[in-house]
Amino acid sequence: MATALQLLLNGVALGAAYALVALGFVLVLNATSAVNFAQGDLVMAGGLLAVALAPLIPLPGIVLLPVVLALMAGLGLLLAAAAYLPLRRRPPVSVFISTIAVGIILQNGASVLFGPEPRVAPPLFGDGIWRIGGVAVAEQSVAIVAVAALLIGAQQWVFGRTQLGRRLRATAQDPEMARACGVPVTAMILTTFAIGAACAGAAGLLLANRYFVTPTAGGDLILKAYIAVTVGGWGSVPGAVAGALLIALFEVGVSSVLSYPAALGALYATLLVILVVRPQGLFGEAVRRRA
């Protein structure tokens, strides 16, 4: 029982971090209809940024978090200016390629700046472990879940309850109509990239403490984000979160019964079944349905 609870806790913490990765991915997807293949490398950049800032700000990670969010938002703006805006009237494949290029630049830049060694970021509050009834509850695991829930909730509030959110949603749904109604579409797209990169930064900081970070870590994370969004529903924020939790369920839960390679195989088999039975994903595809 204790083992099952332990695995559940680990799975939820991992899923929460994956959800933040997928969230940034789906935001940009909704706003631009473009797949940002640099999202995984932005997560890696966020993790290494936290590693670099830690000696400069020798305080718990929670103090670093706002700094990482702000700097990563700036990087998101640069990404939009360099890899999206000049190509937005070109076929979508142009943006695919430009974001892949940015990802490679980030990866190699990180290798040059930080070296290839795995690094560990500071914990959000502390790296202690609470032992509750035979279950080892890592402070960082609780912090990951809390911060992910907070950021996802804040994002839902901004998108659902504020004028900025309405403008962002209008831009995502129909940029031409939004522009005709006076919405500054380009500014909204830039804002979306900034929020998406900030989410990546938060995920990077959270992941880099428990699971370390290397310059090549982004490739695997973008694959996870892509699967999460496909499973959850192309463009659905709740779907991305559900998809991320499903991946963690397979990686932690299923692999505790089957082997890890078999669990991954089962995950991809499940993905195929979902694509066949419910091609729009578990939570549908809100933008396309409206269109």
Partner 1 sequence: MRRAAFLALGFLAALPARAETLSFPVLVPLTGFLSLEGTSQRNGAVLALTEAAAKTEVIDTGTSPEAAVTALERAAGNGNVGAVAASMLGTQMLAMLPLAAELKLPLVTVSGTASITEQGNPWVFRFFPGDAVTKTAHARYVVEELGRKRPALIYQTTAYGQSGKAHLEPAFKALGAELVFEEGVDPAAKDLLPVLTKALAAKPDVLVLHLHSGPTALLLKQAAASGVTLPIVAGSAMHQPSTAALLEPVELKGVCAETAASPISGGSPGMDAFTASYRAAFGKEPDAFALGQYDGMRMVLAAVRDGATTADDIRKALAGGSHAGLAMTYKSDGKGNMAHSAVIVCYDGTSRVPALVKRYDDVAGVVK
Interface ranges with partner 1 (CB under 8 A):
3, 6-7, 10-11, 14, 107-108, 111, 115-120, 129, 136, 138, 207, 210-212, 214-216, 220, 251-253, 255-256, 259-261, 264
By C-beta, is 109 or 284 nearer to partner 1?
109
Question: Least distance (Å) from partner 1 to the CB of residue 257?
Answer: 8
**Which residues, in sequence order, are bridge partners of residue 131?**
136
Taking the complex as a whole, how short is the minimal distance between the CB of residue 220 and partner 1, in angstroms?
A: 4
In whole angstroms, how close is the CB of 112 to partner 1 at the nearest point?
9
The least distance separating partner 1 from the CB of residue 222, rounded to whole angstroms, comes to 12
The conformation of residue 283, written as its DSSP 8-state character, comes to T
Tokens of 274: 């979902």
Q: What is the CA radius of gyration of the chain?
A: 19
Bridge partners of 136, per DSSP, are 131
* Nearest CB to partner 1, comparing residues 185 and 221: 221
Which of residues 89 and 131 has its CB atom nearest to partner 1 in the complex? 131
Strand 135-138 relative to strand 129-132, pairing: antiparallel
* CB-nearer residue toward partner 1: 215 or 233: 215
Q: 155 or 214: whose CB is closer to partner 1?
A: 214
* Rounded Cα gap, residues 120 and 145, in angstroms: 19
Quote the least distance from Cβ 255 to partner 1, whole Å. 4
Strand partners, 137: 130
Residue nearer to partner 1 on the CB measure, 231 or 252: 252
AA letter at 289? R
Least separation in angstroms between residue 169's CB and partner 1 is 32
Please state the length of the chain.
291
Can you read off the two tokens belonging to residue 229? 């969004």
Q: How far apart are CA 47 and CA 209, in angstroms?
A: 8
The rounded distance, in Å, linking the Cα atoms of 56 and 64 is 10
First to last CA, the chain: 48
